[in-house]
Structure 1
Amino acid sequence: MKKILPLFFLFGSMVLGAGVCFGQASENTYNLIPYPNALVPQQGSFTVTAQTKLVVPRESKVFQNEVEQVQLLFSRSLGRPLKLVKRETSNAVILLLDKHISAPEGYQVLISPTQVKLVAREPAGMFRAVQTLRQLLPASIERAGVTAGALVLPAVQIQDAPAFGWRGMHLDVSRHFFTTAYLKKYIDVLALYKFNKLHLHFTDDQGWRLEIKKYPKLTEQGAWRTFNNQDSAVIKMSKGNPDLALDPRHILQKDGKTLYGGFYTQAEMREIIQYASARHIEIIPEIDMPGHMKAAIDAYPFLTCGEAGWGKTFSVPICPCEESTYTFAENVFQEIIDLFPSQYIHLGADEVEKTTWANAPACQELMQREGLKTVEELQSYFVYRMQKFFKSKGKTLIGWDEVLEGGINSEAVVMFWRNWVPNAPLLAAQNGNKVIMTPNAPLYFDALPDKNSLQNVYQLQVVPRGLNNQEAKAILGAQANLWTEYVPSENRAEYLYMPRMTALSEAVWSKERNYGNYLNRLKNHYPRLDALNVHYRLPDLEGFTDRMVFTDKAVLTIQKPLESLNIRYTTDGSTPHQTSTLLEKPLEITESMTLQVAAFSPEGRMGDTYTIAYEKQTLAPAIKPLKTIPGLTATYYKGFFKNTQAMQSVAKPTETMTVEMLKVPETIKDGSFGVQFKGYLNIPEPGIYSFYLTCDDGGVLKIANRLVVDNDGLHAPLEKSGQVALEKGLQPFALDFIEGGGGYTLKLLYSKDGSQPQPIPQSWWQR
């Protein structure tokens, strides 16, 4: 141990994450994600061979599980495990216990030309060290039965520990089901990137996925369904993308019906829990109550307040006013508690349709007896009773941030997801609750990714602004959620979460972040993901907008984001395939046309298809209105609109206002609405201008009465772009925007002549 102590003094005198550390990663030597808190490059390297020994001193026997992980890592390539010895020697990988390491999950990796030392105080820290070692090895080590060649490790000294204790990912197995084998694959990827929590959403309206022995109909009936509207949607979309097809392994024929579904037996889940535990990942089960319970209610109708089915917005919930409901809930959760060793049980408690409660005599009687004034307080009554039951079993309740609305005990953990209620983390912290950050933008990974998605995740503010030092201590960390209403296959799931997962891993682990450096390191992770058969989303193609404009001719030039990719295109409207025309050099465009462009990896994986519409335009002449003043006119329509065109059906707007620049007026508090912005842009010089419109939900931009960006419809935050040719002077501006409910995003940037997109100067806005 004496040889290790000087390293602590070295790290104590340096700035963690300093530029010298990040600079080394650009040399493709230390491509670690998440990046360590302190990394000092050393001279030389260490080569693992069949003669290398694995040293586990007597005091390191606490790391027996991690010994197995090291052996698993090397035996894939060497064909056999390393020889195990107890006494330190050269040409060895050595696992050392160091009780001086104080940080939870903290570790050191010390690689010299003669030895590799992995040092930790606790098994979780040692396992994180093994994952760092794994990432330093060639990607080919991930392929079982494939000879990796020389297993060379660069010499380095690393000291590391996580910034946050909650580093989580989520998977919804209710809406669409995933095999036990896939859960293990998912866990393996989580482990590689140092996540330590897996939140499994087992139940919802669309399916009950976990065996409960006392209530067998929950899975006999609740785990199966005829195709619903989400299934029909993905079946339709799968004609253009096979990753959106329903997995045939989860479809069966019964009593003349085609059924979709599946569930995990308790024995299967016990095996999954053990598998995750060996990788120091805690599985947090979610059994969603009192809402999102239609699958259970259809099997056991006594659970409602007399009605079933769907309410105005969500499904009818279970009844919190009958003791039979609590008997059911406690019986279910007792089996969950017996099965899952996790400290936490997630109750859900979000999006509850409370109309049946307000109308039920039993609820009116209960509310009067308990002094409850609102149905929100009635929900809190249910949550508190479940929390009391969990506490009696030594468990901690987690609920979505709606649990704050009727009041919540300070011992519950709040999972913040609603961006449009930005003060929820502060209110929870002030109430004494611990908080897990999982804001729907950018951490709902079912939302379609665009070229900004990685950066949005990477720059996540884990501790929200506005919290003081004491309140900041309430933030446990963050996790991303993958809801699967429209995620019917494993390939589709991986496309959505990877590589965004790697950005989150660094956001919750690394104390210092550098986005440009992260992107360089990420390029070297794609071969590892290929070896692991992870169907990640290929990097974005750039150098164009969705709508391209030229006055004489244009040249399409696309730089490969990865050198190994091939870029192919079509001009007949068909989707590119592996034999389509190769874009090997800049392509000259002289006439209006539309191209379909896609990248292909050497393994045949296809990236997103980009539609690039080229239009030949003349410069739009400026207009000369009688008089203008700064700002824009904002015409507000209250209501729910599926697209911007639907606003035209409203006879009279709710209100007309003025704004200084493009933003939704602060007086608009409704969840669903539409706004039409009109005015002029004062263009400073003639030319072709690019505009980048990010909307949640939909937006359509017209400039000079020409369509520039069509980002219409109901969707999560998504950027679309376009160009327009403009003369200098005032140009008519019109943007229609809709919000379907749940917090909005509206951002417009511009660029000219290949410059970086930037906000439109306030002086340009005129009305």
Structure 2
Amino acid sequence: MNNFITLKLKITLVLFLCVLTTFAQQEKAGYAIIPQPVKLIPAAGNFEWTTATKLLLAENSESLAPALTELKATFALLKQGKTAANTVTLGLDPSIANEGYTLSVEKNAIVIKAATIQGAFWAVTSLKQLMGTAILRRKQVLQKSLLSAIAIPCVKIEDAPHFSWRGIHLDVSRHFFDLAYLRTMIDRMSYYKFNKFHLHLTDDQGWRIEIKKYPELTSKGAWREMNGQDSSCIALAKTNPDYAIPEKHFKMIDGKKMYGGFYTQDEMRGLIAYADSKGIEIIPEIDMPGHMMAATNLMPWLTSHGKGGQAKDFSEPLCPCKETTFEFAENVFTEIAALFPSKYIHLGADEVEKSSWKNVLECEALMKKEGLKSVDELQSYFVRRMERFFNSKGKKLIGWDEILDGGVSPTATMMYWRTWVPTAPKHAAEKENDVIMTPGEFCYFDAQQDGGSLQKVYSFDPYKFNISESEKKFVIGVQANIWTEYIPSERRLEYMVFPRMLAMAEVAWFKGGVDWNNFENRVQKHFSLLDAMNINYRLPDLDGFTTQSVFVDKGTLHINKSLAGLTIRYTTDGTLPTLQSKIFNGDLTITKPVEFKVAGFRPNGNRGDIYTINYVHQDYIKPVQLSSPAKGLKFSYYPRFYKTVNAIDEKDLTNEGISAAIEIPVAKTAESFATRHKGYFYAEETGIYSFALRSDDGSVLKLGDKVFIDSDGMHTSIEKSAEIALEKGYHPFELMFLEGGGGYTLKLQYKTPSGKLKDVDASVFFH
């Protein structure tokens, strides 16, 4: 038995070293492929891609011809030069997994094998990444510097995706994106091996797809006057032009300036064909029965009360108790089913104002007739009836996880998004429903970013929702969702999506979360590719400083460059940094209060986030004297929703005790709650301390009885930092935290005057 265990340990160690070797090999500059291939074996030498390179189809491989066409386009970026011929051959191999491929690059020949055209597309994508930036720059940019050859490093790759559904969702209702940009989006999805493009085509704010039976849905429902979300974007555009609403999406209607746009069915057919030529399937979503104000404002008879507009929490939904509702829905989906080749149609069915169906005669009669006990079951009745209609058209229904309310049919596919309902994925898998994982905590790319966002997405494990081994087969994939209430422009969309899209690509293809350092190194190499594609991506955070800084005698502003080729510029007069602002060339000595505004700039002029660094003078804060300090902090728990920490009411207190550090020692927390940690922080030496507080939702940190870090209110996970000058000893400490629902984050780190940033622990807290 002992020999057997020793043998198992040796085998495990060998496999582990093989994985590390693979990571190290792929980390080399020539092999920075995202998503990471399953198996990559480097080889010596290069293949020279020139206009003389011959592209060939193997015998009986005609189905792979579109992938060959994709490669031919690269010749336009080369000039006549070398004449030595080499070959690229695409061949059909039924033994390879669906969407899988093999790619062999030798000095004189490239051979691609795949079982499907999708697999051939992904092989071509990997080959393009190996080619680097040369094939990504627009031809007009390269006219004077066309290359005669592109060196492709020799390599052998065996690859296949982990998940069959690798999706990107785009909401084109809140803010509209035209066909030209959707094609650009498809190009970028294909480059990172996404295969599903989920278009959210209708919502309260606009109807974006032509329905010939109801032309007013687009002639009127696709256009709106400026709303509150538009006003917010306009205000933000004063300091960030990426929030400006493009003028091309406005037109005058009856003397009013209206915002909007839509796609005709012929235009959508063209887009579907274009996506198909890149290996991508478009899935339409017509959101029902809620989120239908664009239709119900025009057709109020579709609702229970004969009116559109806003109800209690959400807009007035369609009435599931009127046959006229189903006549309308079936007419709409008849055209959608005929237009979109995908076997899937997304019904939405989220955030429905079901209270609008209470005390309605038609609904009471239907519930009695069908034996329904609640409005939740009315929702289920609507979904199941629509699913039967979808099935009659040869389609499968997808819905957001609210389709579980009142019971779900065994053939529906659930798209999980509500992180505050953690049991939903398992509940669906237990019933053998397919599940697509899109939890907001990891997958909502409209959420604001900070320095931890990319790693957060990369850490996403779709199975970590209490999914058993036998239930994993029902998790068919993952998807990033982009809601556009506050994303009005293409540049803002790109900023929110990139580079997070790269992390999601790896989660979807390779499972992700395996080796963050390896992935981060490959992302660093992809920034030049994103530059070549002219993508307005979010630059990595500048660091080395604290935004709220202090000095006693004098201080030093130090800034670490986060990316090679970055130029850091700053101002001290309150204006925003521009390409004409001062360049930060080295540490600056601080001897008086000053406010810096700092930003990094790429060579193409793209600017990263603007950081405000405020230096104030402070004397060391005196400690308090404690006679017999005990380890830990006093902890208080309030299971109630609050909007701000000042609203915390001691009458709501239900749990109190001692916590070792910043933790929430409650077996099962309420959906919304507040906490308080109170006691003393022990400063081990006199000097300037840095603290970094990350929370979702609000938090406020007090040190020395004064507010030190204020991150109050409802928000996604964000980090705020500050410095404070402390004398050695005990200092009053209080941390208040709010959780509004949807899963919480609460993390506090600190740095001593002579140390590095680290998590706070039990050694520094007393009461």
Tell me the distance in 1 between the aligned counterparts of 2:429 and 2:658: 34
Moved more, 124-133 or 610-619: 610-619
Task: State the AA in 2 paired with 1:634.
Answer: S
Equivalent residues in 2 for 1:189-204, closer than 5 Å? 189-204=188-203
Q: Which residue of 1 aligns with 2:253?
A: 254
Q: TM-score, normalised by structure 2?
A: 0.93
Task: State the AA in 2 paired with 1:376.
Answer: D
Task: State the AA in 2 paired with 1:115.
Answer: A
Q: After superposition, what is the alpha-carbon deviation per residue over 1:358-395, rounded to whole angstroms, capped at 9, x for unaligned? A: 12111111112211111111111111111111122221
SS of the residue corresponding to residue 524 of structure 1 reads helix
Closer, same or farther: CA 550–578 of 1 in aligned 2, 3 Å: same
Closer, same or farther: CA 157–637 of 1 in aligned 2, 3 Å: closer
Closer, same or farther: CA 79–498 of 1 in aligned 2, 3 Å: farther
| 8 Å contact kept, 2:47–2:106 | yes
Task: State the AA in 1 paired with 2:213.
Answer: K
Tell me the distance in 1 between the aligned counterparts of 2:129 and 2:164: 21
Equivalent residues in 2 for 1:587-598, closer than 5 Å? 587-598=588-599
**Cα displacement (A) at 1:674:** 4.2
**Cα displacement (A) at 1:654:** 5.5
SS of the residue corresponding to residue 18 of structure 1 reads helix
Tell me the distance in 2 between the aligned counterparts of 1:511 and 1:635: 37
Tell me the distance in 1 between the aligned counterparts of 2:292 and 2:503: 33
**Cα displacement (A) at 1:90:** 6.1
Q: After superposition, what is the alpha-carbon deviation per residue over 1:654-688, rounded to whole angstroms, capped at 9, x for unaligned? A: 55634524345647865555444433223444433
Q: Which residue of 2 aligns with 1:734?
A: 734
Task: State the AA in 2 paired with 1:94.
Answer: T
SS of the residue corresponding to residue 301 of structure 2 reads helix
Tell me the distance in 2 between the aligned counterparts of 1:626 and 1:592: 37
Equivalent residues in 2 for 1:467-506, closer than 5 Å? 467-506=467-506
**Cα displacement (A) at 1:473:** 1.3
Structure 1 residue 357 corresponds to structure 2 residue 357: yes
Q: 2:134 aligns with which of 137, 140, 153?
A: 140
SS of the residue corresponding to residue 116 of structure 1 reads strand
Tell me the distance in 2 between the aligned counterparts of 1:742 and 1:160: 36
**Cα displacement (A) at 1:554:** 2.3
Q: Which residue of 2 aligns with 1:582?
A: 583
Structure 1 residue 310 corresponds to structure 2 residue 304: no
Structure 1 residue 97 corresponds to structure 2 residue 99: no
Tell me the distance in 2 between the aligned counterparts of 1:249 and 1:589: 47
SS of the residue corresponding to residue 60 of structure 2 reads helix
Task: State the AA in 1 paired with 2:590.
Answer: I
Q: Which residue of 2 aligns with 1:722?
A: 722
Task: State the AA in 1 paired with 2:385.
Answer: R
Tell me the distance in 1 between the aligned counterparts of 2:754 and 2:176: 45
SS of the residue corresponding to residue 477 of structure 1 reads strand
Tell me the distance in 1 between the aligned counterparts of 2:18 and 2:195: 22
Tell me the distance in 2 between the aligned counterparts of 1:655 and 1:285: 47
Tell me the distance in 1 between the aligned counterparts of 2:219 and 2:526: 42
Q: Which residue of 2 aligns with 1:624?
A: 625
Structure 1 residue 107 corresponds to structure 2 residue 109: no
Moved more, 323-332 or 57-66: 57-66
Structure 1 residue 450 corresponds to structure 2 residue 450: yes
Closer, same or farther: CA 15–727 of 1 in aligned 2, 3 Å: closer
Structure 1 residue 538 corresponds to structure 2 residue 532: no
**Cα displacement (A) at 1:511:** 5.0
| 8 Å contact kept, 1:567–1:582 | yes
**Cα displacement (A) at 1:183:** 0.2
Task: State the AA in 2 paired with 1:137.
Answer: M
Moved more, 235-244 or 25-34: 25-34
Tell me the distance in 2 between the aligned counterparts of 1:445 and 1:225: 25
Structure 1 residue 216 corresponds to structure 2 residue 215: yes
**Cα displacement (A) at 1:105:** 0.8
Task: State the AA in 2 paired with 1:63.
Answer: L
Equivalent residues in 2 for 1:153-552, closer than 5 Å? 153-306=152-305, 307-511=307-511, 513-552=514-553
| 8 Å contact kept, 1:17–1:38 | no
Q: Which residue of 2 aligns with 1:712?
A: 712
> What CA RMSD, in Å, does the superposition of the two structures yield over aligned residues?
2.3
Moved more, 308-317 or 120-129: 308-317
Q: Which residue of 2 aligns with 1:634?
A: 636
Q: After superposition, what is the alpha-carbon deviation per residue over 1:508-555, rounded to whole angstroms, capped at 9, x for unaligned? A: 112563211222111222222222221111121111222123333222
Q: Which residue of 1 aligns with 2:65?
A: 64
Task: State the AA in 1 paired with 2:182.
Answer: L
Closer, same or farther: CA 637–55 of 1 in aligned 2, 3 Å: closer
Identical-residue share of aligned pairs (%): 47
Task: State the AA in 2 paired with 1:320.
Answer: P
Tell me the distance in 1 between the aligned counterparts of 2:587 and 2:463: 45
| 8 Å contact kept, 2:641–2:674 | yes
Task: State the AA in 2 paired with 1:237.
Answer: L
**Cα displacement (A) at 1:575:** 0.9
Moved more, 408-417 or 754-763: 754-763
Q: Which residue of 2 aligns with 1:9?
A: none
| 8 Å contact kept, 2:698–2:715 | yes
**Cα displacement (A) at 1:178:** 0.2
Moved more, 183-192 or 466-475: 466-475
Closer, same or farther: CA 219–122 of 1 in aligned 2, 3 Å: same
Q: 1:128 aligns with which of 103, 122, 137?
A: 122
Q: Which residue of 1 aligns with 2:8?
A: none
Tell me the distance in 2 between the aligned counterparts of 1:332 and 1:715: 37
Task: State the AA in 2 paired with 1:207.
Answer: G
SS of the residue corresponding to residue 213 of structure 1 reads coil
Structure 1 residue 702 corresponds to structure 2 residue 696: no
Tell me the distance in 2 between the aligned counterparts of 1:24 and 1:684: 44
Task: State the AA in 1 paired with 2:738.
Answer: I
SS of the residue corresponding to residue 525 of structure 1 reads helix
Tell me the distance in 2 between the aligned counterparts of 1:682 and 1:434: 52
Task: State the AA in 1 paired with 2:640.
Answer: K
Task: State the AA in 2 paired with 1:737.
Answer: F
Tell me the distance in 1 between the aligned counterparts of 2:182 and 2:56: 32
**Cα displacement (A) at 1:749:** 2.3
SS of the residue corresponding to residue 487 of structure 1 reads coil
Closer, same or farther: CA 553–707 of 1 in aligned 2, 3 Å: farther
| 8 Å contact kept, 1:709–1:722 | yes
Q: After superposition, what is the alpha-carbon deviation per residue over 1:281-326, rounded to whole angstroms, capped at 9, x for unaligned? A: 1111111111111111001111100143212211111101111111
SS of the residue corresponding to residue 78 of structure 2 reads helix
Tell me the distance in 1 between the aligned counterparts of 2:548 and 2:161: 43
Moved more, 26-35 or 632-641: 632-641
Structure 1 residue 692 corresponds to structure 2 residue 707: no
| 8 Å contact kept, 1:118–1:129 | yes
5+ residue gaps, structure 2: 1-13
Tell me the distance in 1 between the aligned counterparts of 2:503 and 2:619: 43
**Cα displacement (A) at 1:170:** 0.8
Task: State the AA in 2 paired with 1:571.
Answer: T
Q: Which residue of 2 aligns with 1:36?
A: 37
Closer, same or farther: CA 633–23 of 1 in aligned 2, 3 Å: closer
SS of the residue corresponding to residue 124 of structure 2 reads helix
Tell me the distance in 2 between the aligned counterparts of 1:606 and 1:111: 37
Closer, same or farther: CA 668–465 of 1 in aligned 2, 3 Å: closer
